[in-house]
Amino acid sequence: MKIVVLDGYALNPGDLSWTPLQELGECVIYDRTPSEDVLARAADAEILLTNKTEITAAHMAALPALRYVGVLATGYNVVDIAAARERGIVVTNIPAYSTTSVAQMVFAHILNITMQVGYHSELVRAGKWTTCEDFSFAATPLLELTGRKLGIVGLGATGFMTARIALSFGMKVWAYTSKLRLQLPPEIKKMELDQLFRECDIVSLHCPLTDDTRELVNAERLALMKPTAILINTSRGGVVDEQALADALNGGQIYAAGLDVLSTEPPRADNPLLTARNCFITPHIAWATLAARQRLMTIMTDNVRAFLAGKPENNVAKTS
């Protein structure tokens, strides 16, 4: 059984072991694979593992030995699922491996924005505290979370974990979700999308990128938000109209944004959010804690093992 990992570096830059996967067959691991090299590297492979390297219908047609594609992420839009289904190729993903880490990043951004941790640390390094007349100084407003409204768009595993953390801070939690009210705990209230943007102090996005959610956060919706409001996005960059968000931040229409994702990654140098006022961006790292990547590695290996045993798990290409 030949196994080829096309782009393993993001999952394992060297601090994890590939040994459990290597025990399952002949295994070739590439850190990164340009699109023009996919066919050469995947030749004769029965199992392909990919993170962001696209596997198209043309690739599948040219790889007659291919029986399985494992996506090293939760989202699987890098694989042509219809073509895989037509050819009987199993496609698996890695669900819910980073739930805790992503929710943690949501609050890393919220706490950085409300308490301006990074900014004040920079001021201390610059000597502003040593020359201060008082024992304490605050260069920006500092905001307490207790009693503030958090609006969550998408109440899946990560959205729900974010809600739990918010409740522990004494926040009030509202959610835009397809779940029925009876499915929600009493401390999480259901709210329509525009009302959520209008009333909440912080809006956190936890929805997948689909035709319905693309640029869900647009100029019209941003105009509904309070001038003191904060937007957090750890879901997908394409959910936000980036020019509209930059304009809202620069014009003081909303207070701040904390983003871990952008529409194009790595971003173009002219992305307007890179220079927008009060816009704090991390480079798509919410998923990448050591613990989350270890879970990903374990589930990935379990997925392959289950496939080899004839009982595929997490198969996103199954017909029913």
Of the candidates 97, 96, 84, the one whose C-alpha atom is nearest the C-alpha of residue 11 is 97
- Please name the residue that has the structure tokens 């996506």: 71
Q: State the pairing for strand pair 47-50/2-5.
A: parallel
Residues catalogued as catalytic: 236, 265, 284
In angstroms, rounded to a whole number, what is the distance separating the alpha carbons of residues 224 and 232?
Answer: 16
Q: State the pairing for strand pair 90-92/68-71.
A: parallel
Question: Computed over its alpha carbons, how large is the radius of gyration of the chain?
Answer: 22
Tally of CB atoms within 10 A around 60: 20
In angstroms, rounded to a whole number, what is the distance separating the alpha carbons of residues 295 and 16?
Answer: 11
Tally of CB atoms within 10 A around 318: 11
The string over 172-204, giving b where at least 16 C-beta atoms fall within 10 Å of a residue's C-beta and e elsewhere, is bbbbbbeeeeeebeeebebbeeeebbbbbbbbb
Q: Is the CA virtual torsion 133, 136, 139, 140 positive or negative? A: negative
Q: Do you find a cis peptide bond into 266, omega within 30 degrees of 0?
A: yes
Contact 4, 30 (CB under 8 A): yes
For 28, the token pair is 């070739």
Q: Report the length, in residues, of the chain.
A: 320
What value, to the nearest 5°, has the Cα angle with vertex 39 and ends 34 and 42? 100
What value, to the nearest 5°, has the Cα angle with vertex 236 and ends 69 and 29? 30
